Structure 1
Amino acid sequence: MPDHPSITRFREEHQRRGGAGEIVILPDSVHTAALAAEALGCEAGAIANSLLFDADGSPVLILTSGAHRVDTAAVRATIGGPPLRRATPEFVRQHTGQVIGGVSPIGHPEPLPTYLDSWLQKYDVVWAAAGHAAAVFSTSYVELLALTGATPIDVE
């Protein structure tokens, strides 16, 4: 069976950026860090959730450990700008071309300001969504920084 179009787009972008990790298509949706960790046999903290926030109409992508909740006030104090609000599903699709639960750190229609939870450094292998709720890819903290051009921050 061929890949979903969003996974195909992710594969192409991952390869274009020189990604070395393995892309895995799971039998079921893993739209939460807990589900992904269970399916992959790793800690939830090793899952890099791609969370899109709405900052007065501008997207902000935060790649956070599945062990953390983003403290939007603390992140705003770090990065500046308007308050961060949870994005609507429509906002997420508009700015990422993907749906909540499958948003990858790369491959969006336009570059997004991206921040990476520094906590993820403690894992040798980090897993992130690959454009679909049933697709993930393995990477490292250093590679994820390079692939995304993200700025490291503390999210809690």
Structure 2
Amino acid sequence: MSISSVRAHLAAAAPDLEIHETEARTATVAEAAAVHGVAPGQIAKTLSLRVGERVVLVVARGDVRLDNRKARAAFAAKPRMLDAAEVVALTGHPVGGVCPFGLLTPLPVYCDVSLRAFEAVWPAAGSVNSALCIAPARLAALAGAEWVDVCQPPAAEAA
């Protein structure tokens, strides 16, 4: 599934968006930022979380961490990261390639307000060497996401 399901989703919903496939791995924020020539914050990482009985995806800028207190308040339960097997089984995407598009299982998607700091962000596109460039508002709209504030400020802003 993975990149092919993302391609199919985008072909139907946003045919103007281009998936950028690279020879190099882009599975981590640092790898993706280096390959795409952007700041780590512009990488839109997708976190796969279990909150109570639900599984949700949270898309946030690459240089922030989930704030457990904020997430607990927003989702009314303590969040915990899914393991790699659960991620693949529910999203159809490998860890490092997870994005809110072309999901194997329909899941609630949330975009952290941290993404709004950028005109464009780079989420993965279903594989560990693919991404696309998109405005945060459009990413949220295409994913049917709700905006939340569940992350700590970037380290530079917190200091």
Q: Same fold (TM over 0.5)?
A: yes
- Deviations 1:11-59 (CA, angstroms, capped at 9, x unpaired): 1111212253321001121111111011101011111101101224521
**What secondary structure sits across from 1:119 in the alignment?**
helix
Looking at structure 2, the residues matched to 85 and 136 of structure 1 have their Cα atoms a distance apart, in angstroms, of 25
After TM superposition, which residue ranges in structure 1, 4 or more long, deviate above 3 angstroms?
A: none
- Contact 2:2-2:94 within 8 A present in 1 as well: no
Match of 1:9 among 5, 12, 21: 5
Deviation at 1:73, TM superposition (A): 2.5
Distance 1:143 1:31, change over 3 A: same
Q: Which one of 79, 84, 87 corresponds to residue 79 of structure 2?
A: 84
Q: Percent of aligned positions with the same letter in both sequences?
A: 31
8 A Cα contact 1:64 1:116, kept in partner = yes
TM-score norm. by structure 1 comes to 0.90
Q: Residue in 2 aligned with 1:36?
A: 32
Name the SS of the counterpart of 2:35 in structure 1: helix
Cα-to-partner distance string for 1:82-138 (whole Å, 9 max, x where unaligned): 211111111101110111111111111222111101121121111000000101011
Question: Is the CA contact (8 Å cut-off) linking 2:71 and 2:78 kept in structure 1?
Answer: no
Aligned to 2:3, the other structure's residue is in SS state helix
Q: How does 1:3-152 map to 2 (within 5 A)?
A: 5-18=1-14, 20-80=16-76, 82-152=77-147
CA distance in 2, matches of 1:15, 1:146: 15
Task: Judge conservation of contact 1:50–1:105 (CA < 8 Å) in 2.
Answer: yes
Cα RMSD (Å) of the superposition?
1.4
TM value normalised by structure 2: 0.88
| CA–CA separation in structure 1 for the residues paired with 2:128 and 2:16 | 21
CA contact (8 A) 1:20 1:139 kept: no
